[in-house]
Amino acid sequence: MPDQTIVEALLLGILEGLTEFIPVSSTAHLLLAGHFLGFESTGKTFEVLIQLGAILAILTVYFSRLWQMLLALPSDAKTRRFVAGILLAFLPAAVIGALAHDFIKQVLFESPTLICSVLIVGGVILLWIDKLPLKPRYTDVMDYPLGLCFKIGLFQCLAMIPGTSRSGATIAGALLMGTDKRSAAEFSFFLAMPTMAGAFAYDLYKNRDALSFDDAVLIGAGFVTAFIAGVFVVKYLLDYVSKHGFSLFAWWRILVGALGLIGLHFLG
Residue 147: predicted pLDDT: 96
Q: Which residue has the higher pLDDT, 102 or 253?
A: 253
Query: Model pTM?
Result: 0.85
Chain segment 36-80, per-residue pLDDT in tens? 888 776 656 677 778 888 889 999 999 999 999 999 999 999 999
pLDDT at residue 251 tops 80: yes
- Pick the more confident residue, 216 or 195: 195
Residues 156, 242, 143: CA angle, nearest 5 degrees: 60
